[in-house]
Structure 1
């Protein structure tokens, strides 16, 4: 009987059946072949290709099991990361979505007998957070991607900077209030004098003009000379403290001027922060290997960067042995030479500038440098952090 036409109902039905999932009992993991029924699976087991595959597996069964286990673990965690992110989800929900793919690796061909065993193993290895509840096991993916960690650190740094700005603003307002209270002069208690009339026929008149607006009231010309007579030295003494307070107020900065200065300092700080970058690797600088993954042979050894790749990866050559290694930026740190040696500034406003190390401040973990190249040659820069410069070979 000939093969059914491509657009015939039978051919279309066969293609629909082949796309869907079939029973697991008719699936051969070694050959990765899915049979539709028991008769097809029996014929496949009698085939020469299946027998040859079984002979290969019998030589080293652990190798095949490890391969299937690694593939199952990788695909399961990749689905968990891509589909659910860092959300806490039931492990059975993830597994049901995983096995819905036709080409997935079945669990019965791995080293784990049940999904619970696999979930416990993932938690023990630290690949995800797992916890057991009355409803079953829940799993939560741990994202250790360097880009994600960098974004989280940047968000935390920005949040901390905003909090610092708010605290500085609150302290500034408290300082202004305190200065206002300290600069306020104590109110003088009113002094009462006895009114004496030397001539009974003389009329007494009081000038009730707006004394509070015009300032200190002047003695009325209609009053008797003897009635409001006061020592001449008293008025002079009263004027002296007022003139001193006026000069003191002139010397003090106004609140607006202090706010403007604070904004300028904030802008300078933001400009210096914007000049900084996450990557600091530069060719022809001396660095120190800090990772222990390469063994004691390379740990704490000095090397010279030969080439920088993708901004965060460097090809280094060891100073003593001459071995070449390819390392990430996180596995390296800068080297601080003795005073008088040449260094390269790696970050900040003077990035890519050669300089001479003048001195080191161990308490502030910073150094003083004299620029030795560029248009600012000869300028002395203080407070450069240890991680912002490194020794030159």
Structure 2
């Protein structure tokens, strides 16, 4: 019987069948050929090409089995990593998705007889976390990618730093609350002491001190106070003598300051003092300012790819693509155009991304707007050139 012509129903049916998956027992892994039925598989096994492949495999069967096992393992783990990540999933779900690809490596050509044996082997070798349940075996991929590990370490450092800042702020607030309570206790004790005395004799004394009418008023009040006892009046006098140089405006300003204002002042002072002698960060654009590497790289821009021991950077030149290892002293920051993104590399806002608002050329400073972190949206003026650099 001749071959069906193109676009005939028979030819279309044959192409549809060839695209789909067939039975595993009629697949030859050595020849990578899928047969549709038992008769076709028998004819293939009797063919000359299949016999040649068997002769090659018989010379070193272990080498072929190791190759197919490695291919099966790599493709299975790649599908698990890309499709499910580090989530816990049933092994049969992954296997069904893996064999849906027509040209996959079949398990009967590998060193594992069943999917359960392969799952146990993954757990023993440390590729995945495996556990058995009444519903079957579950696996969880262990990601050992260096970039992923570095990213997790950076997130842990950031969380630890945020916790340290929160603890510092909470201690400062507790200190303010404690001071407020101590002040209330002192005034409360004074009020109780005055209340126990005769009100007709206490009121003139209080007016004499508040109005500052001179020595005559205090002298007239002195004999009356002697009958009351020295403790409440001496405390009032001591409080007044402690602040002889302060005016009424100063006291009003002190009253207007709340705990929130003091916290903000404390945070601003802390941020001004958080300067370090190293400023290198990955992902920023810098400029080479040394001639030791030749005129080819002098005054050329590069991107920092990695930072080693805080003071050494591995940079990639933007023009040539060359990678160099240079010290911090041979680099300087690059100021972007207004409206472009930058990174604060030093000072109190270190590590925050921002946008350049304007440049003050006389003072060699810039005005930026913070775009990340808890201070998002804050406008900061007077930031020095060496504290900011353009983002790659």
Structure 1 residue aligned with 2:139: 139
Change (3 A) 1:105 1:159: same
What is the count of residue pairs matched by the alignment? 280
SS in 2 for 1:89: strand
Structure 2 residue aligned with 1:67: 67
CA distance in 1, matches of 2:49, 2:240: 110
Which runs of 5 or more residues in structure 1 are unaligned? 196-204, 283-307, 313-328, 335-343, 355-393
Quote how far apart the aligned CAs of 1:153 are.
1.9
CA distance in 2, matches of 1:191, 1:73: 88
CA distance in 2, matches of 1:57, 1:226: 119
| 1:259 equivalent among 258, 264, 285 | 264
CA distance in 2, matches of 1:311, 1:91: 38
For residues 308-347 of structure 1, the aligned pairs below 5 Å read 311=305, 345-346=311-312
For residues 112-151 of structure 1, the aligned pairs below 5 Å read 112-151=112-151
Which runs of 5 or more residues in structure 2 are unaligned? 289-301, 314-325, 331-392
Structure 1 residue aligned with 2:322: none
SS in 2 for 1:101: coil
Is residue 282–residue 304 contact of structure 2 (8 Å, CA) maintained in 1?
no
Quote how far apart the aligned CAs of 1:229 are.
4.9
| 1:190 equivalent among 180, 191, 194 | 194
Structure 2 residue aligned with 1:14: 14
CA distance in 2, matches of 1:63, 1:194: 108
For residues 236-385 of structure 1, the aligned pairs below 5 Å read 239-245=237-243, 255=259, 256-257=261-262, 259-266=264-271, 269=274, 275-277=279-281, 311=305, 345-346=311-312, 352-353=328-329
TM-score (norm 1): 0.59
Deviations 1:182-210 (A, max 9, x none): 45645432388899xxxxxxxxx99x99x
Change (3 A) 1:246 1:130: farther
For residues 29-178 of structure 1, the aligned pairs below 5 Å read 29-178=29-178
Larger Rg: 1
Change (3 A) 1:272 1:192: closer
User: Which structure is higher in helix share?
Assistant: 2
Change (3 A) 1:268 1:115: farther
Quote how far apart the aligned CAs of 1:241 are.
3.7
Change (3 A) 1:237 1:20: closer
Change (3 A) 1:39 1:274: farther
Structure 1 residue aligned with 2:179: 179
CA distance in 1, matches of 2:89, 2:224: 93
Quote how far apart the aligned CAs of 1:50 are.
0.9
Deviations 1:133-155 (A, max 9, x none): 12111101111122222222222
Is residue 44–residue 50 contact of structure 2 (8 Å, CA) maintained in 1?
yes
Deviations 1:66-89 (A, max 9, x none): 000000001111111111111111
CA distance in 1, matches of 2:87, 2:277: 33
Quote how far apart the aligned CAs of 1:38 are.
1.9
Is residue 89–residue 140 contact of structure 2 (8 Å, CA) maintained in 1?
yes
SS in 2 for 1:129: strand
CA distance in 1, matches of 2:262, 2:30: 80
Change (3 A) 1:85 1:27: same
CA distance in 1, matches of 2:71, 2:304: 29
Quote how far apart the aligned CAs of 1:115 are.
0.8
Deviations 1:314-361 (A, max 9, x none): xxxxxxxxxxxxxxx9xxx86xxxxxxxxx9327xx96117xxxxxxx
Change (3 A) 1:148 1:267: farther
